[in-house]
């Protein structure tokens, strides 16, 4: 796994092939391919279409700051744990000193990242398969991983960034990047993810209220015990 190629695996050598960067690259690429496939032929996202109508002629200028530059700033902040995880581990401040041992935090962070990758990937695949069946049009997805959390893909995305954070904690001062996964989780739960999506689902999907009562909104848990 790419995460095991951190600098602590084969001595600290600052090359991209020996850091957590490939895992971030593969995750971003996989997500881009999935979104391109899912949205092909659908047209503009309804949220941007509504923004375009609301802003009128000012849309291009406002979206430059409100959408693109804002996201660039958030990416910089959210990526701090990933950046920190590529620094030399505590006790090995320069390239002359090397460690061949993975730390407990490396292993724990890798496990959390892998669990998150599983939830995001499998959750997206299950949802895509559900939507591809014409018989499910207008119905609510509540099987597979969606039986245990209403948003397995969002949970998985958050978990991966907490995995990066745990790995970064092996770096001197890496714990200070706790705002990185914290901000990611907050955005997914309260801003652009769960909260925004569920406002629409509550109006469009019959049985959604019952689904909310029986299924955890974010962290997976057993149905009917939230």
Residue range 126-178, pLDDT digits in tens:
999 998 899 988 888 999 999 999 999 999 999 999 999 998 888 888 899 99
CA angle 198, 47, 122 (to 5 degrees): 55
Q: Please give the distance of CA 63 from its chain centroid, rounded to a whole number.
A: 23
Which of the residue ranges 16-30, 95-109, 151-165 has the most confident prediction, judged by mean pLDDT?
Answer: 151-165
pLDDT-derived band at 88 (thresholds 50, 70, 90) equals low
pLDDT-derived band at 8 (thresholds 50, 70, 90) equals very low
Find the range with the poorest average confidence among 96-105, 111-120, 132-141: 96-105
- For the CA atoms of 80, 81, 83, 84, the dihedral, rounded to the nearest 10 degrees, stands at 110
- Mean of pLDDT values over 172-200: 91
pTM for the whole structure: 0.76
- Mean of pLDDT values over 208-221: 93
Which pLDDT value is given to residue 5? 42
Q: Please give the distance of CA 60 from its chain centroid, rounded to a whole number.
A: 27
Residue that has been written with the tokens 């958050």 in this structure: 158
Which pLDDT value is given to residue 91? 47
The span from the CA of 3 to the CA of 169, in Å, is 14
């Amino acid at each position: 796994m790419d995460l095991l190629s951190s600098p602590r695996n084969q001595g600290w050598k600052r090359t991209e092939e020996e850091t957590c960067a490939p895992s971030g690259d593969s995750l971003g690429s996989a997500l881009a391919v999935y979104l391109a496939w899912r949205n092909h032929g659908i047209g503009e996202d309804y949220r941007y279409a509504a923004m375009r109508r609301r802003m009128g002629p000012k849309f291009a200028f406002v979206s430059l700051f409100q959408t693109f530059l804002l996201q660039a700033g958030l990416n910089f902040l959210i990526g701090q744990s990933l950046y920190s995880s590529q620094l030399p581990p505590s006790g090995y401040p320069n390239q002359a000193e090397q460690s061949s041992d993975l730390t407990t935090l490396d292993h724990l962070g890798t496990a959390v990242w892998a669990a998150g990758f599983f939830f995001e990937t499998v959750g997206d695949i299950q949802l895509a398969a559900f939507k591809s069946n014409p018989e499910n049009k207008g119905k609510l997805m509540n099987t597979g991983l969606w039986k245990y959390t209403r948003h397995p893909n969002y949970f998985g995305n958050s978990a991966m960034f907490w995995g990066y954070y745990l790995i970064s904690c092996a770096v001197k001062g890496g714990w200070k990047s706790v705002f990185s996964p914290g901000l990611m989780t907050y955005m997914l739960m309260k801003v652009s993810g769960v909260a925004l999506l569920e406002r629409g689902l509550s109006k469009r999907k019959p049985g959604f209220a019952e689904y909310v009562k029986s299924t955890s909104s974010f962290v997976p848990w057993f149905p009917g015990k939230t």
